[in-house]
Structure 1
Amino acid sequence: MDQSGFVKLSIIALALVILSFFVRGFSQLLLGRGIAEMLQAPLAIIGFTLLVYLFVRATLDAVGIWTVENPEQDSETNPEGDT
């Protein structure tokens, strides 16, 4: 995974968590509390799980175990693009 993919996943994860709150709020107004919680749960669980994965991945990158590639840094070290 490169840095741009990491940023995209983090934006998606945050959007899912925020969307789950909107879904719960609006569906609680229209359908009731129980149904609103059932509609919110998948979005919240997926978003939170993705945020936990990204946190672990960033921690492993900081320690140096599993790095997140930087495409700009790769092009500077190897300007021809050869591997």
Structure 2
Amino acid sequence: MHLTDTTVSRDAIDRWTVRFISDDGDEVCVTVAAAQELDAESVVDRARTMLVQLTAFGTRGGGRSANAYDAASNGNFDDDEPIMDTRH
């Protein structure tokens, strides 16, 4: 997923929705409770943190990560193969 846009909206009951939109039309939406007064930039940072935490949780078939590097890795440990879909 190559991120091309991020939108932030707030509903009538003080929930924020952050939409991460990819170049191929896929989207990931994160709802953030407005427990405190947040600005849009803080809400995006909070949503990213939530996604990182979920990514680490979902490794190894639901099991724990082997270590902190493994938790942050994309899982490609083959030095001779490029990381797929890397864009800069």
Task: Identify whether the pair has TM-score above 0.5, normalized to the shorter chain.
Answer: no
Structure with larger RCO (C-alpha < 8 A, sep 6+): 1
* Structure with the bigger percentage of helix: 1
